[in-house]
Structure 1
Amino acid sequence: MPNYKWGIIGLGRIARSFATYFAPSQTLYGVAAHDRQRAEAFAQEFNVPHAYDSYADLFADPAIDIVYVATTHNFHYENILQALNAGKHVLAEKAITLSATQLEALVAVAASKHLILMEAQTIYHMPLYPAIEAAVKEQALGRLKTIQVTFGSHVPYAPKDRLLNPALAGGALLDIGIYALSFARRFMTAPPKLVATQMVKTDTGVDGQSSFLLTNANNEQVTVALNLQAKMPKMGMVAYEEGYFTVDQYPRSQEASLTHPDGLTEHLTAGDESKAMAYEIDDMAQAVATGENPTLQWTREVMTIMSQAREAWGFYYPGEQGPLV
């Protein structure tokens, strides 16, 4: 796999984690923030050779091959578009955009320039999930029937916090719902269809609690429950005719349990949860090297479900215009 030079824009918490666990097969070449001092401090802390005065300066550097977008959700579309127009491949933090309409516009730009646009979604890259799929085939577990997914966080009330602030595209859906829905899509054997959904807002006006019922052409049924104001397990259950898997802490899990119809349980392990971001980085580099983007369709289908749900709720972010899907 080629060693590509990477740049990071948006130097918050998630960027720090990205830099801490950066894949050794690649080179973290440069970083940019809204002020030079912050970029220089980050670069010094993580041994990054270049700090830029602006995002535009980072995009303009011909040495950089791939940009990791770690800004808040409300800036993703603009930042990704600028990076693509500068000829950079983009790995964008989840959720990749606010809506399916935004995503499709960016996909078109990336395709026109022969660039890779990928969502940094751990579930699409953790080794555990191919291991589960292999076990389904090896043990002849039959057809997929049901998926149940939950994710709840107890977020302290802080109106300006990213998670609760409408101006920063806060709310459960884009922050934790993207994990739950991506987990479901990872196993479904045909594109999901939204059957029903409901939502309750927080006092700040973002989506705080929601539920989803999905199906598809193969009659697979999915239920998803999200909450920003009550702690719930990050638990996924995937049921086949001849057994079911449970995955605890599914966004970055390295183990799952398989329970057979007779109640017998066995355990699967694969990968290392501490390398979650390194797996994303390596897969992105592989996609750039081959020109193949195997996770993009999952990203598009999940974003469509999320956008359809928001339209059903009548929930839009400040300044959002046009249809979401």
Structure 2
Amino acid sequence: MQAWQVHENGEPSEVMRLDEVAQPVPGEGQVLLKVRAANINFPDVLMCRGHYQVRPPLPFTPGVEVCGETEDGRRVIANPALPYGGFAEYAVADAAAVLPAPDSLDDAEAAALHIGYQTGWFGLHRRARLEAGETLLVHAAAGGVGSAAVQLGKAAGATVIGVVGGAEKAAVARKVGCDVVIDRRSEDVVAAVKEATGGRGVDVVYDPVGGEAYTQSTKVVAFEGRIVVVGFASGNIPSPGLNHALVKNYAILGLHWGLYNTKNPKLVQHCHEQLTELAARGAIKPLVSERVPLAGAAGAMQRLGDGVTTGRVTVVPSLGKGVSA
């Protein structure tokens, strides 16, 4: 079969190679999946660079989120068990963690429902306890992780402010439901948030960016507000001033969604049921901005790493073989 493999650490476009490899053999408690769609996530980029907390042995196939088909014909979503990731014709996954793909979503949308929306649901509902009527600020609101949080915030009854970089991304943020969109390239984020909230600030901040975005968050978070730290796409991990959190009376909440798979897997299942119901009634729908054939995975992953994509970019192995997605 064909599979992308990383033979050394570096930029995806430089270190990924499309190889002919043996079809993976599932281990005990695992299932073989024919990949129908594989979503590109920022952790894939970080693993290529050798900067992620998980470092699979070289060579490995990236792709941490798929919609696949089991050998008995079930359509499922899963996190592949590395080193046999999703940017391949076949992957393997732990049987206990496989979830049914929602009927209301196509393969690419179903693949995109998993990590980003689970992260958003846990961040907003489990960690921040977002309530209807509150104001939510989402950094990188046009990206895959951010757009999921925007939709989940709207579904929860919040007013959503999205921060983006550039006019094109501003249009995407409006499309996914932001009530207010702030272009950090042309506007003062702090001043714009204060103007939009009448000086009060926001109740919850959802931050997958870090760096300057986190600093801005501390300046606009309201009394008893919550900042959810999701990731550091900027490459800059901030060092928060805890005296500032004390004086302003806000909470800093970390979120590592992957831990729930081992610490509380039943909650992951519950979250999936909630997301499936929201998708069925149209309250959420993953924004798949681009579908690429397997041969285009490395270039697409590089674009994500360079910060020029919006929504989700999904690899569909059947594309380029005369079969539509």
* TM score, norm. by length of structure 1: 0.37
Q: What is the TM-score normalised by the length of structure 2?
A: 0.37
